[in-house]
Amino acid sequence: MEYTFADLEIKEVKDRSFSGYGAVFNNIDRGGDRLLPDSLTESIKSFMEGKRKPKMLWQHDPEQPIGIWKEMKADEKGLALRGEILDIPKGNEVYTLMKAGAIDALSIGYKTLDYEMKEENGSRVRELKKIELWEVSAVTFPMNAEALVTDVKQLQSPREVERLLRKAGVPGTFAKLLSLYGYEEATNRLQEDHRDDDVEAEAQKALSELMRAVKGLKETLNA
């Protein structure tokens, strides 16, 4: 699963429904991808025919569905959506946040089926020619530019970040702090919570192990 995002640009939030854009065409996202206008043709057709309906999730978490998508189409800007938020605890929370303007972005989760790599202004751009849309999420911080591992766009969920860090060998406590707060804040919290020499040494060991793990992870991904 991969992800890209667009500003929600809420046109109206009324009677638990809202509309906005799940993705913008011809725009290079923070991961270096450009979504082409025809990339979603098959997914939209499948949605219209009732064969496959992408899920509406909170923060790309499959355990937190918050509503259903009612309309989906591609226009000159991007993937235009209209959805309805369900009357459930998490749905009510998200609905309130949307009305207040605290949630203002959507992010799509998809599988890449066809793409082409290009060089533009000294950077590599991946043009997505065809994707399979799996879900569209309401998110707080989409495609965070300050994410620890910026090469892996699927690390949007703190749970997924923690899982991957633990698998790479990062100590559990620091992996959890890192997934929730980012590198700098996690380091500060670890140091503030542990003052004695023994624990301070453990914190430094954790930091060293973290840097080795992240370096190895990035080398593997880039390969």
Residue ranges of domains in the chain: 2-143, 159-222
For 137, list phi and psi in degrees, rounded to 5.
-115, 145
Instruction: Please state the pTM of the whole predicted model.
Output: 0.61
What end-to-end distance do the CA atoms of the chain give, in Å?
19
Q: Over its length of 223 residues, how does the chain's per-residue pLDDT go in tens digits?
A: 787 766 555 556 667 888 888 888 998 877 788 999 999 999 999 999 988 899 999 988 999 999 999 999 999 988 988 899 999 999 999 888 888 778 878 888 999 999 999 998 888 899 999 999 999 988 876 543 322 222 233 444 566 666 656 655 566 676 677 666 665 666 666 666 654 445 456 556 655 665 555 555 544 444 4
